[in-house]
Amino acid sequence: MEKRISLSTPTMHGNEIEYINEAFERNWVAPLGFNCDGFEHEMAEYLSGDSGEEFHALSLVSGTSALHLAIKLAGVKPGDVVLCSDMTFAATVNPVSYEFGKQVYIDSEYETWNMDPKALEKAFEKYPDAKAVMLVHLYGVPAKMKEIEEICKKHNAVLIEDAAEALCATYDGKQCGTFGEYSAISFNGNKLITTSGGGMLITKEKSARDKAFFWATQSRENTIWYEHKEIGYNYRMSNIVAGIGRAQLKFAEEHRDRKEKIYRRYEEGFKNLPVKMNPYLKDTKPNFWLSCMIIDEECPVDPMHIIKVLAENNVEARPIWKPMHMQPVFAENDFISASEKAVNEDIFARGLCLPSDIKMTEEEQDYVIEIIKSCF
């Protein structure tokens, strides 16, 4: 196929330019501004839904900056232990290092590929003074929130929710990104909605949002001159970028539904192959950000072979996130599993991420499915 079939790329709708033009016309192109305010209000309102809960949002330059501010809000100090999802992108856990904390990695379970509550409880037995838990909803699939929330409350640990991949996903009807004391969403170019680059911090308390805003604007004191009593950061989102986000948010549910159709077509197309799609719990509604598959244990087909064959046919696919405890930079960090064999290592060895671009046609997806079938 001449046209490259991508993993996941931005899908624009045209209304984005209206918000951008307004920023230009009002000469408000710097960080802060009416689009930032609007984006934050609209996102908090969307996440709240009919729950009656109140959330406070802060638009930032990236999901990583949101996680960094969450780590600071959680009070993580040098040497403090943070129990982290092991199967994720490094951006989830790097902010712990920014504050000189210590990551301890928690294995996954097979039902969602997310943090295993049994392994988390085991980790607290070893690290009873762990300051916080950094949880990820992998590929937009909600983790076992009921069990993990209970464990965090039992051990008085702050729950930080990395919902970078999970906008529009729900657990028992509640939006991902609203369980943690602090949560982060990403609007990177490959996410469900995009601002080209950007993120958002979600807090339950306005005072926490205000403190994060202070840090994100270089910790400038309220004086006519520039006065600083704390170290700050240049983390605020551009008013132009926020306008893109406001336009994109209107299509978030539509994007989610189109992602699910892609997942279902793969599910149907692979029903006679020795593979399974990335799983989820019955009381959850994933956003299906990336459709993934895992090859049955007894099958000798290597996922890297499939990725190679797809690449030769102009199709992008990727391995599953390499677990953090396998990364050279974190070789000395502890890893806690509740299984004899590390679940994350097994998923990484047998799994791969499939093209999940919502602009992919049914014919293009059938092309991908047939190539994968040929590998078996």
**Contact call for residues 54 and 35 (beta carbons, < 8 A):** no
Return mean pLDDT, the chain.
Answer: 97
What secondary structure does DSSP assign to 277-341, as a single string? EPP--TTEE---SS-EEEE-TT----HHHHHHHHHHTTB--EEPPPPGGGSGGGTTS-EE-SSSS
**Contact call for residues 307 and 316 (beta carbons, < 8 A):** no
Both tokens assigned to 60: 């930032």
Residues 298-317 pLDDT 10s: 999 999 999 999 999 999 99
**Is the pLDDT at 84 greater than 90, yes or no?**
yes
Tell me what pLDDT residue 2 has: 82
Residues 104-123 pLDDT 10s: 999 999 999 999 999 999 99
Which parts of the chain fold into alpha helices (H)?
A: 16-25, 34-48, 63-73, 90-98, 117-126, 145-154, 206-216, 239-249, 252-269, 303-312, 343-350, 362-374
Residues 24-75 pLDDT 10s: 999 999 888 999 999 999 999 999 998 889 999 999 999 999 999 999 999 9
**Is the pLDDT at 1 greater than 80, yes or no?**
no
Side-chain-facing half-sphere of 210: CA atoms under 13 Å: 5
- Does the pTM exceed 0.85? yes
Q: Which domains does the chain have, with CATH numbers?
A: 16-249 (3.40.640.10), 252-374 (3.90.1150.10)
**Contact call for residues 250 and 46 (beta carbons, < 8 A):** no
**From 29-38, 70-79, 88-97, 278-287, the region with the lowest mean pLDDT:** 29-38
Mean pLDDT, residues 72-95 taken together? 98
**Is the pLDDT at 130 greater than 80, yes or no?**
yes
**Is the pLDDT at 327 greater than 80, yes or no?**
yes
